[in-house]
Structure 1
Amino acid sequence: MINIDYSILLGSLLLIIGIITTKFSSRLGMPALILFLAVGMIVGSDGLGIIYFDNATYAQLIGVLALIIILFEGGLQTRWTTVKSVLKPSLSLATIGVLITTSVVAVVVNLLFDVPWLEAFLIGSIVGSTDAAAVFAVLKGQNINPKLGSTLEAESGTNDPMAMFLTLMFIQLLTIEETNVFLLILSFFWQMGMGLLIGVIFGKLATMAINRINLDSSGLYPIFAVAFALLTYSFTALAHASGLLAVYVAALVIGNSDLTYKTSIFRFNEGFTWMMQILMFILLGLLVFPSQLFTSDVMIKGILISVALIFVARPIAVYLSTIKMDFNHKEKIFVSWAGLRGAVPIVLATFPMLAGIADSQTIFNVVFFVVFTSALIQGSTILLLAEKLGLTGPKKSTPAHSLELVSIGKANAEIIEYEIHKEDLLVNKKIVDILFPENVLINAIIRSDKLLTPRGDTCLLEGDILYILTPRSSIGKLKEMFKDHEF
């Protein structure tokens, strides 16, 4: 019988340890997911023996839920103006790139380990996609070239359907004697097409609902948004389409729309995403047994597949997928190296276990080792490589201030945060000379991390952060004033 109090204590301690490890990850220069996985393995049955966990069904459930939240937050934070310019290469990498990676890895697995072709392609499809959780976590807040960062984030947000389709297809070919490949191919186009369509529709419905409903507490709006993310996934999955793609597309629509309590929704999802990442990676770490993972057989296979994936399959996929696209040699090298593997391959590796595929435990262990190697080697060197290749921009600064707002939903007004840029028309202008829409007021100015009280003769400078109180009816006019920048 489960001791509830003990379980809650253990869960809280694991969350605290997970949060603390994020500080160590930045200092050690490695992705936090490596340390989360390590925590899971240490407290598991082969480590300290505190938790025994071997339920692939629960791991898959938590993994999928976490991926929904991670993709939703990633889509919310992605600006359509940047994605639009890299849509073609991103989609090419997410489809053709995954197919090429899968094929190259399958050839290597078949030739080196004499694994049957179908099983080799199954392994290739499981590790074929980059991982949104890993890519978003590593690139977030970094000064990577915007074009490359957007390409990698859009690719990782949209390539899960291809990897999942290929994985399920090869499982079906291995377990069902008579399988219609033509119907499987049609199924892929259905999954992608309907996933995209349902994502757009639910994104618009969610935006309309959030803006029109008048909730008693501002804290309910972020939960309302998350509920729509879960609804989008489940509805799409029940329609036998790609729920993960639908969630990412819906989040893109929501995040790029005029939204009530947008800042609250974004910040809640940022924290919730961290919690789900910690939970997912620790759980996946618990699922693997180090005594089975660090054996000579698994390690040799894992290292050889990792080498083939990192230095052969991914570069070939990137170079072939971006032919005649606006990427130079250095940029292709970086995109090749930044193809991080993470939670998605590990979650996909549970599918063969649940389907009863022979050697499924070995497949899981090898995939886990490949992910661990990819995250450790590539994840810890991405920023260094970007600097060496000259693909970084100015350092991004995070403001050391915050503004807590009282709910003003019933007043039909919002407070907008806006940073003045060098090329803004507001630079060096006095507030009294600025023709703001009616009833729009600058409530506060942050300058060099100090609060200034705005007056009519206050001159606005580059780098000033304005907090502007505006009726919702005037937001469109403000957007016209600040049309070259996001706020």
Structure 2
Amino acid sequence: MTDVNTLALLFGALLLTAMVATSLTKRLGMPLLLVFLGVGMLAGDSGPGGLIFNDFDLSFTVGNLALAVILFDGGLRTKIATFRVALRPALLLATLGVALTAGITGGFAAWILQLPLLYGFLIGSIVGSTDAAAVFALLRSSGIRLNERVGATLEIESGMNDPMAIFLVIMLIAMVQSGAVTVGMMVMEFIRQFGIGLLAGVAGGWLIWRLTRRLLLPESLHPLLLLGSALALFGATAKLGGSGFLAVYCAGMLIGNRPMQARDHNLHVLDGMAWLAQASMFLLLGLLSTPSRLLPELPLLLPIALFLMLVARPLSVMLCLPWLRFRWREMVFISWVGLRGAVPIVLAVFPLLAGLDHALLMFDAALAVVVCSLLIQGSTLGWLARKLKVDIPGYPDPLSQHGLHDADTQDWQLLQYRVAEHADVVDVASTELPIRHGVVEVLGVWRQGMLLHREAGLRFRPGDLVLLAAADADMAELGDHFAASHSEATLPATRFFGEFYLHGDAELGEVSLFCGCSLPGPEDQTLAEWIRHALHRPAVVGDQIALGRVWLTVHAIEQGQITSVGLKLPAGSASETGSQR
């Protein structure tokens, strides 16, 4: 029992230390995952903690289970509606993009480390995929809201590219060990990994969803039902020879996009479990690393990390995305958000378990790449998004929300907002809340210990706690109305979209007459149709296009159709009709 108690004490102390140290992440701009990794290193045999930990089998097991939890949680939060603009680029980056990145990086690694080419390609494959844990965590904590095309592409890519990396690592290890791998064997392994993973994910997700609908359980047990089912699906898929990671991600997407009991409670609890999984994984990986061995190797390993970030990843993105009409700004940002996290380190354990030569060097190379990626790329996401103008105005979250979900209606939320000192709604009647689209119902106002009911004479005051019901689509506008001002990290809506809003069904002739510019298309064509035609691709919120001297910005999209367009004069000189920014 002493060993168990000691382990519990050590793990609890390390986790608590890492969580306390997270206060530094906001001040220094350091990613939280790097704090966990650093605490593990300091506690390890080369740090002041002096703990000797070299159990690669345990780390491999914990890493796999933790990644399964993280991917399942990420899948639950991925909207299938985003596939409209992100599925093709994400799939391309998750397959061809990973192979290109692995090949380019592998060739450079073999040259600089003076290793056989197969070993170099193995290093490239280990670090070739982006990490879901890092991408999900940093995109949500960076304080920015990306346009749908960029954000969804990054998240779906990171959730789906692990099978390709695992496939490449397994094939290259087999080639190093025996050299008897044929093209047919590679094709069959590729089909098995992706095919079984996809089929198991869809079938398993549907079964899990049906199970959650039929079992009458207390709300507190629903997250455990989901988590247990997801881990069982992960293990079963891996036993069948498919990608368990792809299976749990696809299952999460299928479940998350269907009506689900206790949805908000499930998401909150699973988010905490995903954070615990990340913390555990990075703490163990930090303990497993040996900085005293790594430091002398840095002059050779750092160039590999920099080459991956500055050359290999950008080249793979530039070869995959231009054909899908991505703007150069978007491609640069997607190139930079090729974050590496726990996946490369977990994959680096494969050569160690296989007993390959130079296995420790490969592990150290993966660790160096991860640290550089989190430190350099992870700490600059918000700054680069604003510089490249791929962010769109965010909105303050409500104090609390609780979903009201019905299979026959759209998703509705019970929301609580605090009226800020200089909010737009101050002195506005509770029956006249200014919402451009949708329906919002004020249920009551809590003021100075009293619950006031909605009526014509009741006006909002600073400090009021407002309870209301609204659809998901109205939350952005509600957040703007109840907030005092945006933080420096948030792009103001009026500066981005403009002061005026036009309906997507407005006729182009009337809009051109109002703007005082020449007619760029048929007079009776709607504004939404003209924008979609001018972009030559599905539109997303934030897309901008010039009409004479006026900038039009897509403000709202419902069911794939542009419903609202912002209008403002450009800050600079006049622009040509139909030019894009």
Quick one: distance in 1 between partners of 2:292 and 2:40?
A: 14
Letter paired with 2:366: V
Matched residue, 1:100: 100
1:25 deviates by 1.3
Deviations 1:185-242 (A, max 9, x none): 2111221122111111111111111111101x21110000001110111111111011
Letter paired with 2:3: N
Matched residue, 1:274: 275
1:22 deviates by 2.5
Distance of aligned partners of 1:181 and 1:14 in 2 relative to their CA distance in 1, 3 Å threshold: same
Distance of aligned partners of 1:213 and 1:119 in 2 relative to their CA distance in 1, 3 Å threshold: same
Q: Tell me the secondary structure at the aligned position of residue 47 of structure 1.
A: coil
Matched residue, 1:408: none
Matched residue, 2:525: none
Matched residue, 1:473: none
Quick one: distance in 2 between partners of 1:195 and 1:267?
A: 26
Matched residue, 1:3: 3
Letter paired with 2:197: G
Matched residue, 2:263: 262
Quick one: distance in 2 between partners of 1:213 and 1:443?
A: 34
Deviations 1:103-127 (A, max 9, x none): 1011112233321111111001001
Quick one: distance in 1 between partners of 2:177 and 2:168?
A: 14
1:23 deviates by 2.4
1:370-385 counterparts in 2 under 5 A?
A: 370-385=369-384
Q: Quick check: 2:76–2:256 contact (8 Å CA) kept in 1? A: yes
Matched residue, 2:110: 110
Deviations 1:320-354 (A, max 9, x none): 11131121111111110110011000000001000
Quick one: distance in 1 between partners of 2:450 and 2:242?
A: 50
1:83 deviates by 3.2
Q: Tell me the secondary structure at the aligned position of residue 277 of structure 2.
A: helix
1:419 deviates by 8.7
TM-score normalized with structure 2 length: 0.72
Distance of aligned partners of 1:393 and 1:346 in 2 relative to their CA distance in 1, 3 Å threshold: same
Instruction: Give the root-mean-square deviation of aligned CA atoms.
Output: 3.3
1:181 deviates by 3.4
Distance of aligned partners of 1:43 and 1:445 in 2 relative to their CA distance in 1, 3 Å threshold: farther
Deviations 1:40-94 (A, max 9, x none): 0001111123422101110111101110111111111111112332100000000
Quick one: distance in 1 between partners of 2:271 and 2:326?
A: 31
Matched residue, 2:414: 417
Matched residue, 2:489: none
Q: Quick check: 2:429–2:459 contact (8 Å CA) kept in 1? A: yes
Aligned residues with identical type, % of pairs: 39
Q: Quick check: 2:445–2:453 contact (8 Å CA) kept in 1? A: no
Q: Quick check: 1:42–1:48 contact (8 Å CA) kept in 2? A: yes
Matched residue, 1:294: 295
Distance of aligned partners of 1:449 and 1:131 in 2 relative to their CA distance in 1, 3 Å threshold: farther
Matched residue, 1:45: 45
Matched residue, 2:335: 336
1:299-310 counterparts in 2 under 5 A?
A: 299-310=298-309
Q: Quick check: 2:30–2:378 contact (8 Å CA) kept in 1? A: yes
Matched residue, 2:198: 196
1:449 deviates by 13
Matched residue, 1:233: 234
Distance of aligned partners of 1:465 and 1:321 in 2 relative to their CA distance in 1, 3 Å threshold: farther
For structure 2, the residue ranges without an aligned partner over 5 or more in a row are: 404-410, 418-427, 433-439, 471-556, 560-581
1:176 deviates by 2.4
Quick one: distance in 2 between partners of 1:446 and 1:122?
A: 61
Quick one: distance in 2 between partners of 1:253 and 1:397?
A: 28
Larger relative contact order (CA 8 Å, sep ≥ 6): 1
Distance of aligned partners of 1:415 and 1:83 in 2 relative to their CA distance in 1, 3 Å threshold: closer
Matched residue, 1:436: none
Q: Quick check: 1:442–1:454 contact (8 Å CA) kept in 2? A: no
Quick one: distance in 2 between partners of 1:326 and 1:35?
A: 38
Quick one: distance in 2 between partners of 1:77 and 1:451?
A: 37
Letter paired with 2:83: V
Q: Tell me the secondary structure at the aligned position of residue 396 of structure 2.
A: coil
Letter paired with 1:307: L
Q: Quick check: 1:194–1:242 contact (8 Å CA) kept in 2? A: yes
Higher strand share: 2
1:143 deviates by 1.8
Q: Are 2:318 and 1:319 equivalent residues in the alignment?
A: yes
Distance of aligned partners of 1:127 and 1:174 in 2 relative to their CA distance in 1, 3 Å threshold: same
Q: Tell me the secondary structure at the aligned position of residue 397 of structure 1.
A: coil
1:51-450 counterparts in 2 under 5 A?
A: 51-140=51-140, 142-215=144-217, 217-295=218-296, 298-399=297-398, 401-402=399-400, 416-417=413-414, 430=431, 444=443
Moved more, 371-380 or 135-144: 135-144
Distance of aligned partners of 1:212 and 1:444 in 2 relative to their CA distance in 1, 3 Å threshold: farther
Letter paired with 1:8: A
Distance of aligned partners of 1:370 and 1:116 in 2 relative to their CA distance in 1, 3 Å threshold: same
Deviations 1:408-454 (A, max 9, x none): xxxxxx9943699xxxxxx99959xxxxxxxxx97955799999655
Q: Tell me the secondary structure at the aligned position of residue 167 of structure 1.
A: helix
Q: Quick check: 1:101–1:309 contact (8 Å CA) kept in 2? A: yes
Quick one: distance in 2 between partners of 1:64 and 1:450?
A: 50
Q: Tell me the secondary structure at the aligned position of residue 417 of structure 1.
A: strand
Distance of aligned partners of 1:235 and 1:364 in 2 relative to their CA distance in 1, 3 Å threshold: same
Distance of aligned partners of 1:149 and 1:119 in 2 relative to their CA distance in 1, 3 Å threshold: same
Letter paired with 1:95: T
Letter paired with 1:136: F
Letter paired with 2:251: A
1:31 deviates by 1.1
1:379 deviates by 0.6
Total equivalences in the alignment: 450
Q: Quick check: 2:79–2:253 contact (8 Å CA) kept in 1? A: yes
Q: Tell me the secondary structure at the aligned position of residue 466 of structure 1.
A: strand
Letter paired with 1:364: F
Distance of aligned partners of 1:417 and 1:36 in 2 relative to their CA distance in 1, 3 Å threshold: same
Q: Quick check: 1:33–1:134 contact (8 Å CA) kept in 2? A: yes
Letter paired with 1:275: L
Distance of aligned partners of 1:335 and 1:177 in 2 relative to their CA distance in 1, 3 Å threshold: closer
1:484 deviates by 4.5
Q: Quick check: 2:235–2:244 contact (8 Å CA) kept in 1? A: yes
Q: Quick check: 1:445–1:467 contact (8 Å CA) kept in 2? A: no
Quick one: distance in 2 between partners of 1:306 and 1:466?
A: 50
Structure index of larger Rg: 2
Quick one: distance in 1 between partners of 2:450 and 2:326?
A: 43
Higher helix share: 1
Quick one: distance in 2 between partners of 1:94 and 1:467?
A: 39
